[in-house]
Every structure is written in C-alpha cells, then in structure tokens.
Chain A
Amino acid sequence: MATAESILFKEHTENQGAPVMSICHLYKSFEDNHVLTDFNLELFKGENMVVLGKSGSGKSVLIKCIIGLLRADEGTIKVFGENIPDLNDEELDKIRTKIGFLFQSNALYDSMTVRQNLEFPLRRHWIKVSQQEVDAMVTNALNDVGLIHTIDMMPEELSGGMRKRIALARTLILKPEIILYDEPTTGLDPVTGREIIRLMVEIKKKYNTSSLIISHDMNCVRMASDRIVVLLDGICYANGNYEELTNNQDPKVKQFFE
C-alpha cells in the first residue's frame, strides 16, 4: 500500500508542484488509544481532498492537529513550509489566517449577529481597514453563500443549512488559501447537503483554494473530491480518485463504496 501511495503522491507532485500541506509520520494517542499511527498526507494547490473514514477513526483529530487545536505526539505537519507543532502562539495565529476551518457544529458566535460574526476575525487581523471596506467584504462573503438578507439576523433565527453557509462565509472572509471542512454535511437533509457541497466546489473554483474535507457522506466524497484518502487503523490506508477507489478490490476499502 505504501508503494502505491508514494507513486500517487509522486504523480501529484509532478503535476501540481510543491504541496501546500504535508503531513509526515504523524502520531497521536489519547492514553492507550492510538488514533493516528504514522499517518502521511500531502495536499496540493487547488486540490479538494476528502479524508474518508469510519466514526472514531481519527479524522477530526487529524484536522485539529493540523490547525493546532491538538498537539501531535510525533511527526511533522508542514503548512506553507512551517511545521505547525514547532510554532509559538503568535506564529500559529499568523498561519491560521491562511487556513479556514469549518466546524461540524458551525460554532457561530451566538451572542453576535451574522454581520458581527463575519466582522469579528476581520477587525482583529486587518486593523487599518475602514468600516466601508469591512462592509464590502462582509457583503461579498454573504453574496458568495447567497445569504445577504440575513446580515442583521442572529444565528438562532437561521436554519441548519443557513448556519452552515454563514459559517462558511465567516471562514472565507479572511481569504484563506486552505480550507478544512469537518463533516460539512452532517446533520443536514440530503438536498441542503448537496447545496453545501456545490458551494464548496464553487468556492474552490472561484478562489483556487485547497481543501481538506473530513467526511463519511458518500455524496460529498463523490461530488467534492479530486482525491480521496482512506483513514483506517490510524494510517493513510488507500489513496486515489473516486473511480480508482471504487474499483479497488481491497475489502477494507470496498466497504466504503458499496
């Protein structure tokens, strides 16, 4: 498996240049529970990669390690050449502005309006930006997700799908180069789920972002992925595009695509 994996990574490297994110020999345990054991992954510019795995396989742990919410036990996570575990708080904050993160629970600030939710990161990073420019950026981000009319509403007044889109708009407002999606369609009905997936694909096309999508929703895997990584037993078990993995005869891979 490791050979096939390295061949695929090599092909991608040749086609797309240096990776924007590279994870090497990542280990993460919680006491005796070894979640990630020698996990490797590379994400390239403009690529949508889906990490597919069963519940509890360590997908969310993986992206929390990438964004620095959890500290890896061993290994390197290089994002734009910087090794995340080596960064201090200020350096980490700086690199986080280039990485968007869409939470499974949306994590909208429930005491703030939609406008304030979007302004919050902007006001703290782009201090010298005028109010007119901030307004324009907020309007653009809300137009991207088609929810400009909700600008003065509170999160509690929005439906689940709308909250997801507002959370996506908040992620986009700092113009990230990489977006991490943590189960973006979980808890949504199939129609709304498909809308969110389409939005993710549009965003990738419009802003040429790279995305790492954590999911076990096969609709999401099929529609949004350029490449899929199967996370199993703490390692990158299989790697390829949708067609390649659908035709994979390994029973552990096949179980996801049946």
Chain B
Amino acid sequence: MKQISSLNAALNEAGDISRFTGRFLSHWFKPRYEVAEFFRQCFIIGYKSLPLVGLTGFIMGLVLTMQLRPSMVDYGVESQLPAIVSIALIREIGPVITALIFAGKIGSSIGAELGSMRVTEQIDAMEVSGTNPFKYLVVTRVFAATCMLPVLVMLSDAIALYGCYLGVNIRGDTSFNLFWTQVFDNLAFYDVLPAFVKTFFFGFAVGIIGCYKGYNSRKGTEGVGRSANSAVVVSSIIIFVLDLLAVQITDLLGFY
C-alpha cells in the first residue's frame, strides 16, 4: 500500500513538472523579455561556477590518466593514453560529472533562492503588483542554466585535458604539441557533437527542476531546505536518465 502511494506521489510530481515545463515553454517567446536579468543569471550561474567546475575538471583529467596508466602500460599501449582519456572525457565523463557538479551547485541554489522567496511572500508580492514572476524568476534562470552548462562543459573538458597532459608527463615525456595532436587525431566529429548537444538538455533539466522545487516550496524554512535538497536529487537522477537516452539515440543514429 505504501509503495503504491509513493508511486502515485512520484507520478503526480512528474505530471506537475511536465505542466511546469509546458508553462515555461509558453512563456519563453512571449514579450516582455527580461534581458538584463537573463545576463545577470548567466553571470551567476555560469561565471561563478567556473572555479568549481574548472577544479573538478582538472582533477578528473589528472586522476583518470594516473589510474589508467598502469593498465595501459601492461597492455603496451601507453602511447594511446591521451587518445583514450580524451575520448572518455569528451564523450561521457566530462559532460556527466560537470552536469552533476552543476546540479549540486546551481540546482540547490535556485531551489533555495526561489523557495525562500516563496515562503517570504516575495513571489506573491510580484504577482499582486501585476508583474509576471514566472517570466522574471523562472524563464531567465532556466534559459541561463541551459545556455551556461554547455559552455562550462567545454571549458571543463579543456581543463581536464590539460590535467591529462600533466598526468601523462608525471611518468613520461610527451611534448605539448604531440599530446594535442594525439588527442585531436583520435577525436571525431561524432564524439564531440552528441556530447555537446546533450549538455543543453542537462542544463535545462537542472534549471527547470531547481525552479520547480523552489517555486512550489511550502511549509516555511523546512520546506526551503527540502526544496534545495530534492532539486539536487531529482536533477541528478534526470541527468543519468537523459544520459542513458542520449547514448541510445546516438547509437541508433550511428554515431559510434
């Protein structure tokens, strides 16, 4: 009985999120456009996430290289280390790990910010003054998250590859030019494009879930904490589901 009611609640929430997404799409193109707020959100969501994303990217590239080296040495393909690491990073690890870090930082921050605005009646105040809080608060944040995550993933990938270069040179001697030649000789268009496209969906998912949880926050400060927490949990799960779908679609389209 308990499982049925949990399933029922999950399905209800899925329906509510779909309706919220529909509302977002219906508001997206309609004027008035909150351009200034959009750029402010891009700065907060994108620029201010860069140090965290850059650091995790660097460590990701370095550690992956150091962990792979012994096996590569055993098989006698140590020279292929840059190629293998770069493909793994660009196709899968970079987008997914960056999106998860992004969900942790941005999803929770949007959920908490909108949640506290809801419980302190700031969203109601916007509504009663005849302005459109959905457009100002939700559309700008979701759009900014959708645009900024692909940029962050590209930068994170680049930093991760630099980490990989350092990792390769801890116990080897590969020149900078040779490293990049090996990376780009082994990367194809179909490695980069699907990975790049799916990051827009990851960014959208983080933005819409964070906004949904915060915008519909209830029950005071406890509700705000719960909104922030569930924004991270739900958007992380959705990132994995979207990744699974992206891999299947890429496979069906023959990008391998």
Interface residues of A (CB under 8 A from B): 67-69, 92-97, 99, 101, 103, 105, 107-110, 120-121, 124-125, 127, 170, 174
Q: Cβ of B124: which chain A residues have Cβ within 8 Å of it?
A: 69, 103, 107
Q: Cβ of B221: which chain A residues have Cβ within 8 Å of it?
A: none
Q: Cβ of B131: which chain A residues have Cβ within 8 Å of it?
A: 93, 120-121, 124-125
Interface residues of B (CB under 8 A from A): 32, 120-122, 124-132
Q: How far is the CB of A170 from chain B (nearest CB, A)?
A: 8
Report yes or no: A121 in contact with B129, Cβ–Cβ below 8 A.
yes
6 extra interchain contacts, Cβ-Cβ under 8 A, other than A93-B132, A107-B122? A93-B131, A103-B124, A107-B121, A110-B120, A120-B126, A124-B130
Report yes or no: A124 in contact with B125, Cβ–Cβ below 8 A.
no
Q: Cβ of A170: which chain B residues have Cβ within 8 Å of it?
A: 129
Q: Cβ of B129: which chain A residues have Cβ within 8 Å of it?
A: 96-97, 101, 120-121, 124, 170, 174
Give the residue name and chain of the B residue nearest to A63 (CB).
Answer: B128
Q: How far is the CB of B105 from chain A (nearest CB, A)?
A: 18
Q: Could you write out 13 A-B pairs with CB less than 8 Å apart?
A: A69-B127, A69-B128, A93-B131, A103-B121, A107-B125, A108-B122, A108-B125, A109-B126, A110-B120, A121-B129, A121-B131, A170-B129, A174-B130
Report yes or no: B130 in contact with A94, Cβ–Cβ below 8 A.
yes
A contact face: mostly helix, strand, loop, or mixed: mixed
CA distance A108 to B129 in the complex (A): 12
Report yes or no: A124 in contact with B127, Cβ–Cβ below 8 A.
no
CA distance A225 to B126 in the complex (A): 28
Q: Cβ of B127: which chain A residues have Cβ within 8 Å of it?
A: 69, 96
Give the residue name and chain of the B residue nearest to A67 (CB).
Answer: B128
Interchain CB contact (< 8 A) of B125 among A95, A97, A103: A103
CA distance A120 to B132 in the complex (A): 11
Q: Cβ of B126: which chain A residues have Cβ within 8 Å of it?
A: 109, 120
Q: Cβ of B130: which chain A residues have Cβ within 8 Å of it?
A: 92-97, 121, 124-125, 174
CA distance A66 to B180 in the complex (A): 66
CA distance A121 to B121 in the complex (A): 16
Q: How far is the CB of A169 from chain B (nearest CB, A)?
A: 13
Q: How far is the CB of B23 from chain A (nearest CB, A)?
A: 10
Q: How far is the CB of A91 from chain B (nearest CB, A)?
A: 10
Give the residue name and chain of the A residue nearest to B125 (CB).
Answer: A107
Report yes or no: B32 in contact with A105, Cβ–Cβ below 8 A.
no
CA distance A97 to B120 in the complex (A): 21
Q: Cβ of A120: which chain B residues have Cβ within 8 Å of it?
A: 126, 129, 131
Report yes or no: B32 in contact with A127, Cβ–Cβ below 8 A.
yes
Q: Cβ of B132: which chain A residues have Cβ within 8 Å of it?
A: 93, 124
Q: A69-B128, A99-B128, A121-B130 are in contact. Are A107 and B120 (CB under 8 A)?
A: yes
Q: How far is the CB of B107 from chain A (nearest CB, A)?
A: 19
Q: How far is the CB of B2 from chain A (nearest CB, A)?
A: 23
CA distance A113 to B136 in the complex (A): 17
Give the residue name and chain of the B residue nearest to A64 (CB).
Answer: B124
Q: How far is the CB of B31 from chain A (nearest CB, A)?
A: 10
Give the residue name and chain of the A residue nearest to B135 (CB).
Answer: A124
Q: Cβ of A69: which chain B residues have Cβ within 8 Å of it?
A: 124, 127-128
Q: Cβ of A67: which chain B residues have Cβ within 8 Å of it?
A: 128
Report yes or no: A105 in contact with B121, Cβ–Cβ below 8 A.
yes
Q: Cβ of B128: which chain A residues have Cβ within 8 Å of it?
A: 67-69, 96, 99, 101
Q: Shortest 8 CB-CB distances between A and B: which pairs?
A: A107-B125, A96-B130, A121-B129, A107-B121, A93-B130, A101-B128, A124-B131, A97-B130
Q: Cβ of A97: which chain B residues have Cβ within 8 Å of it?
A: 129-130
Q: How far is the CB of B34 from chain A (nearest CB, A)?
A: 9
Q: How far is the CB of B240 from chain A (nearest CB, A)?
A: 33
CA distance A99 to B125 in the complex (A): 12
Report yes or no: A109 in contact with B122, Cβ–Cβ below 8 A.
yes
CA distance A170 to B128 in the complex (A): 12
Give the residue name and chain of the A residue nearest to B36 (CB).
Answer: A123
CA distance A124 to B134 in the complex (A): 13
Q: Cβ of B32: which chain A residues have Cβ within 8 Å of it?
A: 124, 127
Q: How far is the CB of B35 from chain A (nearest CB, A)?
A: 12
Give the residue name and chain of the B residue nearest to A120 (CB).
Answer: B131
Q: How far is the CB of A121 from chain B (nearest CB, A)?
A: 4
Q: How far is the CB of A110 from chain B (nearest CB, A)?
A: 7
Q: Cβ of A174: which chain B residues have Cβ within 8 Å of it?
A: 129-130
Q: How far is the CB of A21 from chain B (nearest CB, A)?
A: 15
Q: Cβ of A110: which chain B residues have Cβ within 8 Å of it?
A: 120, 122
Q: Cβ of A124: which chain B residues have Cβ within 8 Å of it?
A: 32, 129-132
CA distance A101 to B129 in the complex (A): 8
CA distance A107 to B129 in the complex (A): 12
Q: How far is the CB of B43 from chain A (nearest CB, A)?
A: 14
